[in-house]
Structure 1
Amino acid sequence: MNAIATGAFVLPPLKGRVEAQADLGALTWFRVGGPAEYLVKPADARDLAQFLAALPEDVALTVVGAASNLIIRDGGIAGVVIRLARGFSAVTVEADGIVCGAAALDATVAEHAAAAGLAGLEFLSGIPGSIGGAVAMNAGAYGSDIKACLDWVEIVTRQGEELRLSAEDLHLSYRHSQLPPGGVVTRARLRAMPGDQTLIAARMAEIRDSRTKTQPVRARTGGSTFANPPGQKAWELIDAAGCRGLVRGGAQVSELHCNFLLNTGGATAADLEGLGEEVRRRVMEATGVSLAWEIKRIGQNLPRVAVVA
């Protein structure tokens, strides 16, 4: 477990894995984006804490989860990108809840709860992504959200301190949580209650069927693009502005659900983000409503190349 020398700085020792110039686009659901200068996969929470405690403060740090609701720009990400993997995916069933690692997929946690006859977490079966990301953005769908079921969350701070915070400490609101700056979610406990397994299974089947019929689940997409404005639905505003099916390069607004952007095969991150901004512009012009991005966009754009006639 030796320190790793790089061109600009020295990475602290790590039991996990480090990859230089790692292809991040392959990790995202959109399948676009540039490389990470260094992609770091810690072995466990202690490994992560020791690494962050020794990482120089001036080294840029970015955390990515399942990358289901994320656009990584074409120029990639400088510094260190943290991605939690196998050592953070454990799921433990308790009498009245689930304790799960941040890398556990939302749907996997819902399935464990259903198998144990625990109700209240069925909504997770309809959310693409992992528990860490779900906590960080207070993910929600199908009538519930993380705020409704979170007991506590364990994090590692940017300074390498391991903390357990209550749900109240996060001040959860619509698609937002107040995690400490640079904090990395490592584990969480979600409340549940004993329920009828048949009813739980039926609800999850209903959610899966609804997603299949109303969302482009088999496409290269990233989940809901824009948050719903208070009292309104983003997709209705987008549709009213005439953006259903709108195309930019290899990116398209879904015909099935127009709050989803698609990579139709050859899109760049710039195509997707540019299309989203065009949708925002048209919705503002048509309705006076400013849509807020729900998909996160991170990293650097590629420099524009001047064309000389």
Structure 2
Amino acid sequence: MDSILLLFLCLISGVILRRFKTFPPNAHLVLNQFVIYFSLPAVALYYIPKIRISSELLYPLGVGWLSFALSFAFFFLIGKWLGFSKKLTGCLVLMCGLGNTSFVGFPIIEALYGKEGLKTAIIVDQPGSFMVMATLGILVASVYSSGNVSWNAVGSRILKFPPFLAFVVGLTLNILSVDFPEIFQSAFQKLGNTVSPLALVAVGLQLNIQRRSSHWGVLSLGLVFKLMLMPLFFYLLYYKICGGTGQTIGVSVIESAMAPMITAGVLCHQYGLKPKLASMMLGIGIPLSLLTVAFWYFLIG
């Protein structure tokens, strides 16, 4: 539970630093860049070589990919119907299609299911949510950030995205059944642990919840979709339609109910996709998800 406390402390610290103008105005940009270029690649290089692939992992693996596909289909159609701007649609697709399956998900899963549950949670996160973010996520961010789409430029951005490059290296090592020496693994683990604190401080530095903000309507729509409709979809699919049982299915459904991914907010800021809305969805979605996750956990039993 200390990891969950850390999430709140970092978020509140960012808000306090913004309030008293302790950091420079663009400090959040520096923190976000550090997360993208150093912290996230370290996470991939530490975890990916250790994953053991088997057929029973299809359920947790499907959470990340199906979530993003469902989010894209839903907000593409809703956006067309309600006349959303391209940047608003892109922001909602990213924030609702990518779940915080590691930095919020891992401590919650460990608290609910113990260390054994983390084995499933890692599959949901690394080849699932993380890979989706590093490929389809940056693809959507690139396409929706501008009116003119150059597929060569989009492909170049994906190939030059540091977390994606790290994932490729980690996957190659996994296939070869080798890993980094222990001294490097320790360094990657410690560097990867900086993702959540730095990203949440950056969110707090930008968080400005306004009662009369024009974002409240779409923010409510996004969070209802992410925290309630998304896990409902996986609950019905995995338990009722596929007839799944056991801890692997339970962890998969609970992970689908997590708050929006912090890195999705980083992408929204980097590509100019309604960054204020993205920050509000993180600042409100993370604490709210603790209540909705409890609901789904008791429903699953």
| Pair in the same fold by TM > 0.5 | no
Q: Which has the larger radius of gyration?
A: 1
Normalising by the smaller structure, the TM-score range is under 0.3
- Higher normalized strand content (fraction of residues): 1
Greater RCO (Cα-Cα under 8 Å, separation 6 or more): 2
TM-score by length of 2: 0.23
- Higher normalized helix content (fraction of residues): 2
